[in-house]
Amino acid sequence: MKLSENTIFVTGGGSGIGRGPAESFYQLGNKVIISGRRRDVLEQTVKANPGMEFVVLDVSDSDSIRDVAAKVVQEYPDLNVLINNAGIMRAEDLKKWPGGLEDSEAVITTNLLGPIRLTAALLPQLQKQPESAIINVSSGLGFVPLPVTPTYSATKAALHSYTVSLRVQLAGTPVEVIEIIPPAVATDLTPGRSADNPRMMSLQDYIKETMELLHLKPTPAEVCVERVKFLRFAEATGNYDKALQQLSTVML
Ligand SMILES: NC(=O)c1ccc[n+]([C@@H]2O[C@H](COP(=O)([O-])OP(=O)(O)OC[C@H]3O[C@@H](n4cnc5c(N)ncnc54)[C@H](OP(=O)(O)O)[C@@H]3O)[C@@H](O)[C@H]2O)c1
């Protein structure tokens, strides 16, 4: 994908792994529109990046997606990049079910239905552009699950699979499909657990390495920083059982 002169819509662009690329792309000369549920967080981000714009969006709400997609297409007719980044993670104790079922459903609605619905809503617009891209943010946990977050890990495995199919279906169209596969990164996804946690990559280092990879020509179909390769290629390298064993000891 080209790295400047795009009009980019980022879900969850007010914090963490969404805000980093939103700011980097903004600095590279792109029009960037960020979205999320918390207006104050979006306002702060836009204030720090004058010219960036925001729209309040709840990706777990199909009406919100429909309304926002229509508004964005109308206000930004040049929109050509969608970054499906918004996500939530919840610990679940499956032995206590059905107690945690609401959490499981919320994770699926946000992390899987959200990107699918938004892609459906914006794909007609993206297909009209001469050059466009959909960037889906999955996770290393889509390749080896973190057993304490079973539904989260399952949504990321499903998002990976959906992204592969989307890429195949859109081959030969102007829409490039890219998957960003982060490792554990210190963000608010797991509040209180990030500070000084050696298991987690610093957000700054992660964004720097990710943007370097996005500068490669051609853009990699899967953007994998070094730290995530152990999980991404666990099965291929015969390390799946070892990785699963390690992740099985992690508590949230
Ligand atoms: N941090 C990691 O270790 C890690 C690893 C692999 C993958 N990821 C993925 O990276 C993505 C970003 O996570 P993060 O680590 O940057 O955590 P984060 O700082 O908590 O960011 C999550 C973002 O998603 C937005 N969001 C959550 N639910 C939403 C909803 N219903 N509608 C719209 N926006 C919503 C949040 O904004 P509002 O709360 O304002 O809505 C927030 O800006 C997620 O998809 C996550 O699964 C993270």
- H/E element, 161: helix 150-170
User: Closest by alpha carbon to 163, among 155, 172, 151?
Assistant: 155
Positions annotated as catalytic residues are: 152
**pLDDT for position 130:** 98
Place of tokens 């040049």: 78
Predicted confidence (pLDDT) at residue 193 exceeds the cutoff of 70: no
Of the pLDDT bands very low, low, confident and very high (cuts 50, 70, 90), residue 97 is: confident
- Would you call 233 exposed, middle or buried from its count of C-beta atoms within 10 A (0-12, 13-18, 19+)? middle
| Strand residues in the chain grouped as ranges (E) | 7-11, 31-36, 53-56, 81-84, 132-137, 175-180, 222-223
Q: Indicate if ligand 1 lies below 6 Å from the C-beta of 109.
A: no
| Between 199 and 14, the higher pLDDT residue | 14
Ligand 1 atom index nearest CA of 41: 40
The pLDDT mean for the chain works out to 96
Of the pLDDT bands very low, low, confident and very high (cuts 50, 70, 90), residue 98 is: confident
Of the pLDDT bands very low, low, confident and very high (cuts 50, 70, 90), residue 96 is: confident
Q: What six digits make up the tokens of 90?
A: 């919840």
User: What distance in angstroms lies between residue 172's CA and the mean position of ligand 1's atoms?
Assistant: 31
Ligand 1 atom index nearest CA of 185: 3
CA 97 to chain centre: 28
For 59-80, give the secondary structure using H, E and C.
CCCHHHHHHHHHHHHHHCCCCC
Place of tokens 């998002």: 159
- Domain 7-248 in CATH 3.40.50.720? The answer is yes
Q: Where are the domains of the chain?
A: 7-248
User: What distance in angstroms lies between residue 247's CA and the mean position of ligand 1's atoms?
Assistant: 21
Q: What span, in angstroms and rounded, lies between the C-alpha atoms of 15 and 54?
A: 13
- H/E element, 208: helix 203-214
Q: What six digits make up the tokens of 95?
A: 């032995």
Helix (H, G, I), strand (E, B) or coil at 51: coil
Ligand 1 atom index nearest CA of 140: 6
Q: What span, in angstroms and rounded, lies between the C-alpha atoms of 73 and 214?
A: 25
